[in-house]
Structure 1
Amino acid sequence: MRQRTPVVVNILIITVLLVIFYYLFVQSYSFLASPYFWGTVVISAILAYIHSAIGDLIENNKFKKLTAEEKSAYLAEKKIPFLRRQYDAAFKKQSDTHEKDILIDHGFDGIMELDNQLPKWWLGLFYFGTVFCIVYICAYAFTDFAHPISEYDKEYKEQEAAIAQYLKDQPPVTIESAAFSEDNIAAGEEIFKTNCVSCHSDGGKGGIGPNLTDNFWHNQPEKTLFKNVFHVVENGVTGTAMQAWGKNGVLTGGDIEKVAAYVYSINQLKKPITPKEGGAPPYGDEAHWEKQ
């Protein structure tokens, strides 16, 4: 008769498997607080005890049919701790008597073959791997688990929310706190294309609105170019199509800071677009900006 695995060990294995399976589908450990998970554990434990009780009945029935010698050997083996039996089954070399019992009646060149059973640890890993693969494939096919696109979308939304919260917690950008940064030029260009191109044309060369690449400015309320652009975009120009983008709530202080960085870059870091190159003619007075 073979020794059976203790019911406590079976319950422990079942619990570990349930944790793995739940995590594959839920993708977080929040299920540990769910009564459904613990209900599953309790039901599984009850079934394991029922299975063990049935096994005890079958084992007792078989035990009665053993000879006195077999009963003695069985009881002696049963006294060996479970973990010790597992270790012996995996690593202990069988005795010479046992080898004779499992020796296969064929050989070649003096090499004989033994009909050994596969180690239990190997079989356990094999069965676990098989079940895990089946569950993993089902989770991959019917849930969002392990999908790179789904994971990317989830992380992207989390990052977007974190950025939005960060910006919300930051103090608003004002003309006093705004400063030029090359890091804002690219974002400012996108805002410019969305809101300003209709009047100032591509690259700020001017059209309905003035040329933003030359050094002639009709409105010069500030001493530096960057602050001047911020002021005009925020407050607008009375009597013209230039609305107060900031005061009207269309653009935030951070948006205006980025647009001002872009306008500063096309005015100071690039060559002006002349009328011969398609730019609007000078409008206003020549500016003498203070350095940033």
Structure 2
Amino acid sequence: MRNTIPSWLRIPVVFFIIVLLIEYFVESGDQPAFMEQPAILLFLLLVLLVLIAIEAIAGSLSNILYQSLDDAGKARYDASNQKESKLVVWIKEKYIKLLGSKPIQEEHEIILDHNYDGIKELDNDLPPWWLYGFYASIIFAVIYLFKYEVFDGDSQFDELDTEYAEAKIAIEEYKRTAKDLVDFNTVELLTEASDLNNGKKIFEVNCIACHQADGGGGIGPNLTDTHWILGGGIKNVFKTVSEGGRDGKGMIAWKQSLKPAEIAQVASYVLQFQGTTPAQPKPAEGDVWKEESID
């Protein structure tokens, strides 16, 4: 009896085994990437075990059914399984035709005179896949020679420089859209209404108790004048909100509870108080701060 387990069950099993082996033996680093994600590894192992179990059950049922047949039924079953599909037959016929090989009854026509201890050699043509692959390699070599040696095509160093430039552009684009990557050095003043509205909400929840709703100050300093204890401008205000005020007194470090994007929003909102008139302004603290002009 031939193996009757369907290939759609065997192939996934082999596939998962190969994936696991490659991941384990080829992956660089101290340990395979799969080992860093136990959930994925366990899931793949579970799927592998399920597929193996299904194939085993299917094989057992097939053998049981086969053994229940009489001799005539077994013969018919074996004969039906030995028939190849039309597609397989067509592929074999085309391959043999391309190969140009002789059937065994006509091999005497292509026997060479070479004789090694009774072993004779046939003058068969090379397999088409090998022959066409050889022709393709020649064409590739000619094109490669002209491109890189005659017309001075890009070298590996040029390609590396191009990839570096493309990667730098991609990183800058990612930083531009990923607001939570902002820090003291890259933060910019936000002016969009959505950012300022969100900054206002954060200010009302966390900052009113010390600075008042109009920024006039209370426990904390006045945010409406030109005096700043730790420096004004978006970069300094962002750093102050993120890292906190002076040691031993002043504001806590909000980086523990606010995301960088949220700190940028509230810092931009705080700067909106500049030049306004609060109801009960607190006396100025710190030094007058002016934005440094870039010539």
Q: Tell me if TM exceeds 0.5.
A: no
Structure number with the bigger relative contact order (C-alpha 8 A, sep ≥ 6) is: 1
